[in-house]
Amino acid sequence: MNVVHLNNVSKIYGKADYQTAALKNVSLSVAKGEFVSIMGASGSGKSTLLHIIGCMEKPTEGQCLILEQDTAGLSDNKLSKIRNQVISFIFQHFALMHNYSVYDNVILPLFKRDMKSKIMKEKASYYLERLGISDLMNKNVTKLSGGQKQRVAIARALVAETEIILADEPTGALDQKNSHELMDLLSTINSEGKTIIMVTHDENIAKYTNRTILLSDGAILDHSM
C-alpha cells in the first residue's frame, strides 16, 4: 500500500513575470514502512516537497494523496486533522516551545484529541523512557543539549502515534556522534513499521534509508538510489 502518492505535482510561487517553479511535474510513491531520503542542492525543492506531503502547502498543479485521500479539496480543518493524526514532523532546529518543560513539549500533539491528562502522561512517559530521557521530563527545554532537544522532538513525533513521520534535516543541528545516534534511532522506529520521509544534504545520513529521491531544480532526477 502506498501511504503517499504524488502525481505530476508542481508548485509555483509568485505571479506573472515573477513566478518561480519550486517543483515541476513531480510524481512519486512511498509505500507503507519505507524509509526514504530526499536529497538535492539548496533550492532544489526538497523542503517544498516535504511541505506538500505534510499538508503544510497545497500544490499549484497535480495530486497529492495521503493514505489514498486526495488532499487538494480538503478544508483547513481536515488538513489540520491529517497533520495531527496521520503525519508527525521532526524539524532541524527542533521547533520546541521555549520556557516550557520537556513534558509540555512532548504532549503538544495530544491536546487536539480530547485526551485525559492521565493518558497523555502515560504516553509521554513511555516514549521519553524509550528515548532515554525520562529523567528530563520536568526540565526546561532551554537547559538541554542539542542531542537532548532532538530526542524531545522525536518523542513529540512518536507520542502522536501517526502513520508517517516527516523529518526535515533532522541531523542538521547535531554533531557527528549525535547524528548517527539519531539515525540509529530512526532506523529502529522504521523497522517497527513507521514510514519515514527525510530531507537531508548528507550522503552518509542518506545511507541509513532504503531509497533516495534526488531532486534538481524542482524535478526528480532519480528515485531508485
pLDDT, position 111: 86
Per DSSP bridges, beta strands 195-199 and 20-31 are: unpaired
Using the predicted structure, report yes or no on whether residue 205 has a pLDDT greater than 90.
yes
Cell matching residue 59: 500544490
With contact defined as beta carbons under 8 Å apart, do 86 and 71 qualify?
Answer: no
pLDDT, position 64: 96
Q: 182 in a domain, yes or no?
A: yes
pLDDT, position 138: 96
Q: pLDDT tens across 72-89, in order?
A: 888 999 999 999 999 999
Q: How far is CA 90 from CA 22, 37, 106, in A?
A: 22, 14, 12
Q: 135 in a domain, yes or no?
A: yes
Q: 181 in a domain, yes or no?
A: yes
Cα-based angle 30, 197, 125 (whole degrees, multiple of 5): 125
Length, in residues, of the chain: 225
Q: pLDDT tens across 97-130, in order?
A: 998 999 999 999 998 888 899 999 999 999 999 9
With contact defined as beta carbons under 8 Å apart, do 43 and 84 qualify?
Answer: no
Q: Could you tell me the residue range of the domain that residue 145 belongs to?
A: 34-55+76-222
In the predicted model, what is the mean pLDDT of the chain?
92
pLDDT, position 73: 84
pLDDT, position 115: 87
pLDDT, position 114: 82
Between CA 58 and CA 137 the distance in angstroms is 36
Of the given ranges (44-48, 213-217, 219-223), which has the lowest mean pLDDT?
A: 219-223
Q: 1 in a domain, yes or no?
A: no
Q: 64 in a domain, yes or no?
A: no
Using the predicted structure, report yes or no on whether residue 4 has a pLDDT greater than 70.
yes
Between CA 141 and CA 12 the distance in angstroms is 37
How confident is the model over 182-186, as a mean pLDDT?
A: 92
pLDDT, position 225: 52
Structure confidence at residue 222 as a pLDDT band (50, 70, 90): confident
Other CB atoms within a 10 A radius of the CB of residue 118 amount to 8
Cell 531520503, residue located = 37
In the chain, how many domains are there? 1
Structure confidence at residue 159 as a pLDDT band (50, 70, 90): very high
Q: Domain holding 123: CATH number?
A: 3.40.50.300
Between CA 67 and CA 139 the distance in angstroms is 37
pLDDT, position 1: 86
